[in-house]
Chain A
Amino acid sequence: MNAWLLIAGVALLTAAIKAAGPLVLGARELPARFTRVVGLLAGPLMAALVVTSALADGRHLQVDAATAGVAVAGVLFWRGAPVIVGVLTAVVLTAALRALGAP
């Protein structure tokens, strides 16, 4: 029962978060300064997602095998590797490092 409540709660809250901007702002014209901010948003958002998932566990900063795997994937992406190649490299490298005893 609790699990269904959880699912309903997360689904409704997520939908509301995604709907808020388009509902409240509508299709009105926005000033040029706003559009410049918008164009820059993706960079810091993605950077924050990367560092908080690769360098932190909850509220602790930590470096582990996955950090190394992800770093190598970053080099591959920069050199133009397809997404799945970089991601699988990160996974295999992380698993290999753990098999060798890394955290």
Chain B
Amino acid sequence: MSFRRGLRLGAGFASVPLLLSLSFGVVAVDAGLSPLQAVVMSALVHAGSGQFAAIAVFGAGGGVLPAVLASGLTNSRFLAMGIAVAPSLPGRPWSRALQGQTVVDPSFVMANRHDGTFDRWLIFGAFAPQYAGWFTGTVLGAFGGDLLGDTDRLGVDAIFPAFFLALLVAELRRPETRWVALAGAVIALALVPFAPPGVPILAAALAALVALR
């Protein structure tokens, strides 16, 4: 039941990863990956912001290790999300670790019951169309990117923030999250000039600690 609801909710968002990964395919090939490598990366990683971060550093000649670290910092928010969903994932350790791989931004937001628990079948359901969209888009972008030309001219860089804004607006419908979200935005913006990309996002999570008082 939850799985099917998750599928439906996730499918509503899946068109966006499709567009986003299309631009990832283009950017990755520009940065020196072969189309096959771009597709394999999306299939194995499936964490868009981290992939973009890695490719940005790698494409600029920054080397493998700095590129991997940049992706790790960009993905560090999944550490907080993993801690959040942990009590909702039953089973043996390896099974829990595997279930944790299905946490992506939309599945995390949609499956939140706002009582400290998450509907894990909704996470799995929402993850499936996201993954399919992300994979398909990368194939299209990596193998057909030459047809597109300069993607910034097409406004493709607006997809990423607009996507997260849709998730944010869903959260803001609950009044108690508004000040916390605003505080998170302020923390992140304040850190942008000083911290490596990704760190401001993890630091924004600290705003949720207001619930401890």
Binding between chains A and B = yes
A interface, CB within 8 angstroms of B: 2-7, 9-11, 13-15, 17-30, 32-56, 58-61, 65-66, 69-70, 73-74, 77-78, 82-84, 86-87, 90-96, 98-99
Collect the chain B residues with CB atoms within 8 Å of residue A26's CB. 86, 93, 96
A9 to B66, CA, bound (A): 11
Decide if A35 touches B183 in the complex (CB within 8 Å): no
B interface, CB within 8 angstroms of A: 12-13, 15-16, 19, 32-34, 37, 40-41, 44-45, 47, 49-51, 54, 58, 64-65, 67-68, 71-72, 75-87, 89-91, 93, 96-101, 103, 105, 108-109, 112, 114-117, 152-169, 171-172, 176-178, 180-185, 187-189, 192-194, 197, 200-201, 203-212
A66 to B71, CA, bound (A): 23
Decide if A14 touches B155 in the complex (CB within 8 Å): no
Decide if B205 touches A49 in the complex (CB within 8 Å): no
| Contact A44 to B185, CB < 8 A, known contacts A26-B96, A86-B166, A95-B154 | yes
Decide if B189 touches A69 in the complex (CB within 8 Å): no
A22 to B80, CA, bound (A): 11
Interface majority SS (helix, strand, loop, mixed), chain A? helix
Collect the chain A residues with CB atoms within 8 Å of residue B99's CB. 22
Decide if B192 touches A52 in the complex (CB within 8 Å): yes
Pick from B82, B83, B85, B164: contact of A49, CB below 8 A: B164
Collect the chain B residues with CB atoms within 8 Å of residue A78's CB. 169, 172
Decide if A10 touches B181 in the complex (CB within 8 Å): no
Decide if B15 touches A90 in the complex (CB within 8 Å): no
Decide if A41 touches B185 in the complex (CB within 8 Å): no
Collect the chain B residues with CB atoms within 8 Å of residue A41's CB. 80-81, 84, 205, 208
Decide if A83 touches B166 in the complex (CB within 8 Å): yes
10 contacts between A and B (CB under 8 A): A11-B41, A17-B72, A18-B100, A20-B82, A25-B83, A27-B86, A38-B83, A43-B177, A70-B161, A70-B165
- What's the nearest-Cβ distance from chain A to residue B111, in Å? 10
A46 to B90, CA, bound (A): 26
Pick from A32, A46, A49, A70 the residue with the most CB of B within 10 Å.
Answer: A46
A99 to B150, CA, bound (A): 13
- What's the nearest-Cβ distance from chain A to residue B12, in Å? 6
A1 to B37, CA, bound (A): 10
Decide if B210 touches A40 in the complex (CB within 8 Å): yes
Decide if B165 touches A86 in the complex (CB within 8 Å): yes
Nearest to A13 among chain B residues (CB) is B72
Collect the chain A residues with CB atoms within 8 Å of residue B19's CB. 87, 91
Pick from B33, B45, B101, B163: contact of A19, CB below 8 A: B101
Decide if B180 touches A44 in the complex (CB within 8 Å): yes
| Contact A18 to B50, CB < 8 A, known contacts A11-B44, A45-B205 | no
